[in-house]
C-alpha cells in the first residue's frame, strides 16, 4: 500500500516537470476485454500520440478497480505490486495480461501510466468474465406413474453469468413456464442453476424430456435427454448416460419370442399331422369281406412288407413286394 502511494506521488510530481500537457501529447486506448474463468486474458492497450516521435517507454503504472479502495496492481522499475496474476506486456507495450482469470476480476478499471513522453491519467478499460456451465444432471421424483403428479429436476453448475434452463418434451413443446429456477453462488462467484419442472398429471407419452442449459447470452451450452421411469418399471432402468428400459423396449422382445414359440408349435402340429396321414395311407387299407364256408367272413391281413390278396376260396395269399 505504501509503495502504491509512493508511485502515485511520483507520477503526480513528474507530471509537473512537463511543460506540455501529457493529455495533449499522449492518449491511452484500451479495448474492452472478454475473458474466461481459469484462462489467461489479454487487455489490449496502445498509445495514441500527436507527436512524431513514437519511441515511448513506460516507467511506471497504477491500476485501480472501480468500487475498491486499494490499488489493484502497480508496476515501477520492474517491480510488481498488488495482484500477482497481472503483468505488463513490455516497457513499450501498455497491454496487460491476466493469468487464471476469475469472475471477481470482472469490472471497470482506471489505468494511470507514466512514460518518458508524459503521463496519462485517464486511461480506462473494462473486463467481462464468463464461465461455461457443466453438463446438466437430471433426475425425477419417486413413484412416477401415468396420470399422476411428477417432478423433474435439472442442475448445471460452475457457470457465469446467470443463464437459464429450458424444458422440452418429445413433441418439442416448451414446458419452461411450469418450472422453477433457483440460482446459488459459490465462494468464487460461480453459479449453480437448479430447475424443477412440476406436473400435476403427467402423460408418459410426452417422454423423452430434454433439459437445455443456456448461458447469459441465451446460447445453448449443454443438454440432457432422459425418460422418467414409471412406478412399475424395472428396477435396473436408469437415465442420463445409462439406457432406460421403457415399456416398448420390454414388450418388443416378448412379442418376438412369443411369435417364434407360436410358429414353432404350429409347424410341429402340421408336421405330426402329415406323418399321421402318411401312416394311414400305408397301413389302413380297405377291409374286404368275402363269403366263406357257412356264414363266417374272412378278412385281409396286412403285415409289414406284404400285401394281402384274397382268393376265391377265402384263403389269404401273402405276396412279397
> Per-residue DSSP letters for 86-145?
EEEEETTEEEEEESS--GGG-EEEEEEEEETTEEEEEEEEEEEEEBPPPPPEEEE-TT--
Is residue 245 scored above 80 in pLDDT?
A: no
- What is residue 207's predicted lDDT score, i.e. its pLDDT? 87
pLDDT tens string 133-154: 999 999 999 988 999 999 999 9
Predicted local confidence at residue 271, as pLDDT:
66
Distance between CA 58 and CA 96 in Å, rounded?
13
Check residue 177 and give its pLDDT: 95
Contact 189, 103 (CB under 8 A): yes
pTM assigned to the model: 0.62
Q: What is the pLDDT of residues 266-288, one digit of tens each?
A: 677 776 766 666 555 444 444 44
- Residue 255: strand, helix, or coil: helix
Q: Is the pLDDT of residue 122 over 60?
A: yes
| pLDDT tens-place string over residues 311-321 | 444 444 444 44
**Highest-scoring range by mean pLDDT, 95-104, 248-257, 261-270, 276-285:** 95-104
The pLDDT of residue 184 is 97
Q: In b/e form, how buried is each residue of 10-32, taking b as 16+ CB within 10 angstroms?
A: bbeebbeeeeeebeebbebebee
pLDDT at 230: 64
* pLDDT above 90: residue 231: no
Amino acid at each position: 500500500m505504501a509503495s502504491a502511494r509512493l508511485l502515485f506521488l511520483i507520477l503526480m510530481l513528474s507530471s509537473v516537470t512537463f511543460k506540455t500537457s501529457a493529455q495533449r501529447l499522449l492518449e491511452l486506448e484500451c479495448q474492452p476485454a472478454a475473458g474466461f474463468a481459469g484462462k489467461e486474458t489479454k487487455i489490449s492497450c496502445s498509445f495514441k500520440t500527436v507527436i512524431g516521435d513514437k519511441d515511448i517507454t513506460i516507467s511506471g503504472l497504477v491500476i485501480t478497480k472501480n468500487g475498491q479502495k486499494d490499488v489493484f496492481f502497480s508496476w515501477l522499475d520492474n517491480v510488481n505490486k498488488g495482484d500477482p496474476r497481472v503483468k505488463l506486456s513490455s516497457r513499450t507495450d501498455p497491454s496487460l495480461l491476466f493469468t487464471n482469470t476469475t469472475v471477481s476480476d470482472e469490472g471497470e478499471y482506471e489505468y494511470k501510466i507514466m512514460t518518458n513522453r508524459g503521463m496519462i491519467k485517464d486511461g480506462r478499460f473494462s473486463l467481462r468474465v464468463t464461465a461455461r456451465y457443466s453438463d446438466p444432471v437430471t433426475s425425477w421424483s419417486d413413484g412416477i406413474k401415468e396420470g399422476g403428479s411428477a417432478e423433474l429436476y435439472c442442475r448445471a453448475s460452475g457457470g457465469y453469468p446467470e443463464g437459464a434452463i429450458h424444458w422440452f418434451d418429445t413433441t418439442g413443446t416448451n414446458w419452461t413456464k411450469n418450472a422453477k429456477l433457483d440460482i446459488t453462488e459459490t465462494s468464487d462467484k460461480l453459479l449453480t442453476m437448479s430447475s424443477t419442472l412440476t406436473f400435476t398429471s403427467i402423460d408418459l407419452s410426452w417422454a423423452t424430456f430434454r433439459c437445455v442449459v443456456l448461458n447469459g447470452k441465451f446460447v445453448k451450452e449443454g443438454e440432457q435427454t432422459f425418460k422418467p421411469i414409471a412406478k412399475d418399471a424395472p428396477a435396473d432402468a436408469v437415465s442420463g448416460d445409462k439406457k432406460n428400459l421403457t415399456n416398448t423396449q420390454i414388450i418388443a422382445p416378448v412379442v418376438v419370442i412369443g411369435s417364434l414359440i407360436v410358429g414353432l408349435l404350429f409347424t410341429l402340429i402340421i408336421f405330426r399331422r402329415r406323418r399321421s396321414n402318411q401312416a394311414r395311407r400305408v397301413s389302413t387299407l380297405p377291409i374286404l369281406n368275402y363269403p366263406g364256408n357257412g356264414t363266417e367272413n374272412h378278412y385281409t391281413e396286412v403285415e409289414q412288407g406284404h400285401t394281402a390278396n384274397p382268393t376265391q376260396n377265402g384263403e389269404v395269399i401273402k405276396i412279397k413286394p
